[in-house]
Structure 1
Amino acid sequence: MTIDVLGGLRVGGPDGDAGPTAPKQRQLLGLLVLRADQVVPAATCMRELWHDHPPRSAATTLQTYVMHLRRVLAHADVPARVVTCGHGYRLRVDPLDTDLGVVHTRVREGEERAAAGDPTRAARSWREALALWRGAVLADVRTGPVAQQIAGHLDQWRLLLVERYLEAELRCGRHRQVVPTATALAGRHPLSEPIHASLITALHRSGRQADAVRVYERLAAALRRDLGVPPSAPLRRLHQAVRTGAGWLDPPPPAAPVLSLDALCALDAGRRPFLVPTPPGGTS
C-alpha cells in the first residue's frame, strides 16, 4: 500500500511518509483518496476546502494545489497520479495501493466466501480488513464537509463489517474468542443489536448464562431509554432461549452484505444506511 487514510493520512515513499505538509493540500489529497479513481468535480473540491465561502481565487488556487500534489506524488515515487477530467480531478491509483482499496477487496472476498458456505475464510478476510483501520478516517487532517460525510459513512460501514465478522466467527465455533472482542465492541456501540446478539450467543455457549441475560437486559434498557423501542423479535427469542437453558444456540441471521454506494444511497433516510465510497475502479 502507498496511501493510507484509515487513520492519519500517509503517503508511503522509499523514505517513509512523503505526503504533503500544507493543510489544504493534505485535505485535498485525502478527499481524492476517499474517492479514488472517480472524478471529483472541482466544485466539490472547493466545497471541501472552503465550505460555502470560497475565495474569489478559489479556482486558480485549487489548480495550484493540484499542481503541488502532482509534484509530491511524483517525488514520493508512488504509483498514483492526479489527472484532470473535464471540470474535475481523478486520483488514478491501483486499489491495492490504498488501505481503503485493500479493505474493499477483503470485504468482497469475505462476502464471496460466506456465500460459498466458508465462514472460516470469510472471517479471515474480514479480520484482515478490520486490522487495516489505524484510527479515525483522516484523523490528522482538518477535513471539510464532503470528507466528513464520507468518513461518517465509513464508520457505519465499519460497524456493519464488525457485525458480519463476529457472526462468522461464531459460525466457526470460536465463541470463547468472540467474548472479549464483542464485550469491548458492545461498550462502544451500546445500541447495536447485532453486536449484542453475538455477545449473548458467545456467552451462552461459554456456559455464562447469567452474564448473557445481563447483557440482554442492559441492551433492552438502553433501547427503551434512548430510542423508545423494545428489542427486536429475533433478539427477544434469543433471550428467551438463553433463559430457558437451550442447548447450543446458532448465531443470529447474517447481516446484510456490504453494498455499493449507489445502492445504499437509494435507501430512505429513515432506514439504516451503510454508505461507503464506491470501491476504487468502480463507477461513481
Structure 2
Amino acid sequence: MEMTLATLLVRAERVTTKEQIVTELWGDHPPRCASAAMHVYISQLRKFLAAAGDRSAIVTKAHGYVLRLKGAGYDVAEFQRAVEHGRALLPAGRYAEALAEFDKGLALMRGPVLEDRAEGPVLSAFAAWAEAERLDCLEFSIEARNALGRHREVIGPLNTLIAQYPLRESLYRHLMLALYRSERQADALEVYRSAHRVLNAELGVQPCPSLRRLHHAILTSDQLLDLPAAS
C-alpha cells in the first residue's frame, strides 16, 4: 500500500495508469493476481484517507487513478517554491534572504528521497530528479554562505559532499573559494590538483574552464576573489 500511495503522490493531480502502478509494484513480471491486488491497495488507501477526513482524494479515471491534493501541504511543491525564491534573490545580492529560502527547502528534503525503495520507472525517475534538485539547493546555500563571509563553515560539508560526488566539479570550485577566503591558499590549490587527478582518472578529461579560471585566480591572488568590503 505504501508504494501505491508513493506512486500516486509523485504523480499527484495527474492520471496514474493501472499499468504504471502494477509496474512500480512488481516490475516487468507481475503475478497473475496483480490487478486484483492493486484494487485491494487502492481500496485500503481510500479507507485510510477517509479516516483522515478525505473521502474523495483518489478519483477513478478510465485508465487509472488521480490523487487530488485539494490544497494540502506538499513538501515537494514547497521545496520548489523555496528554491525558486532563493535563486531569484541571489543575483540581487540578497544573500541572507536567499540562504533562508535554501535552508527552508533543505529542511523539507534532508536526504535522498525514497532511498532503497524506488525500483520502478516512476519512482526511480522522481528519486533521481529530487536528488539532483537537493544537491543544487545545497550548492546554492553554500554559494550564499560564501558570499556572506561564512566560508569557514562550509569547508567540512563540502569535503563530505566531494567524497560522495567526486565528479561534480562545482563542489571543488566552492571548496577552493572557501579555503582561499579562509587564508588557506595552498589547500585550495591542492583541491584543484585533486580534482584534476580524479577527473582525468575517471573520465579522461581536464577540469572545466570555470575551475581552471578559479585556479589561475588563486595562483595570482586575484582581488576579485576577495569579499567586498562592507559599505
Aligned to 1:152: 128
TM-score by length of 2: 0.87
Task: Please give the root-mean-square deviation of Cα atoms over the aligned residues, in Å.
Answer: 2.4
SS of the residue aligned with 1:40?
Answer: strand
What is the Cα deviation at residue 65 of structure 1? 1.1
What is the Cα deviation at residue 115 of structure 1? 4.9
Q: 1:230 to 1:142 in 2, by over 3 A?
A: closer
SS of the residue aligned with 1:90?
Answer: strand
Aligned to 1:206: 182
Q: 1:77 to 1:54 in 2, by over 3 A?
A: same
Q: Is the 8 A contact 1:171 1:250 kept in 2?
A: no
What is the Cα deviation at residue 209 of structure 1? 0.4
- For 1:179-258, list aligned pairs within 5 A: 179-249=155-225
Aligned to 1:89: 65
Matched residue type, 1:192: R
- For 1:86-125, list aligned pairs within 5 A: 86-93=62-69, 97-125=73-101
What is the Cα deviation at residue 160 of structure 1? 2.0
Aligned to 1:19: none
Query: Which runs of at least 4 in structure 1 moved beyond 3 Å after TM superposition?
Result: 76-80, 139-143
Q: Is the 8 A contact 1:79 1:94 kept in 2?
A: no
**Fraction of identical pairs, as percent:** 37
Q: Unaligned stretches of 5+ in structure 1?
A: 1-24, 252-284
Q: Is the 8 A contact 2:85 2:101 kept in 1?
A: yes
Mapped partners of 2:4, 2:52: distance in 1? 17
Q: 1:96 to 1:81 in 2, by over 3 A?
A: closer
Aligned to 1:59: 35
Structure with bigger helix share is: 2
Aligned to 1:73: 49
Q: Is the 8 A contact 2:118 2:124 kept in 1?
A: no
Which of structures 1 and 2 has the bigger CA Rg? 2
More RCO (CA 8 Å, sep 6+) = 1
What is the Cα deviation at residue 129 of structure 1? 1.0
Q: Unaligned stretches of 5+ in structure 2?
A: none
Mapped partners of 2:87, 2:221: distance in 1? 33
What is the Cα deviation at residue 170 of structure 1? 1.9
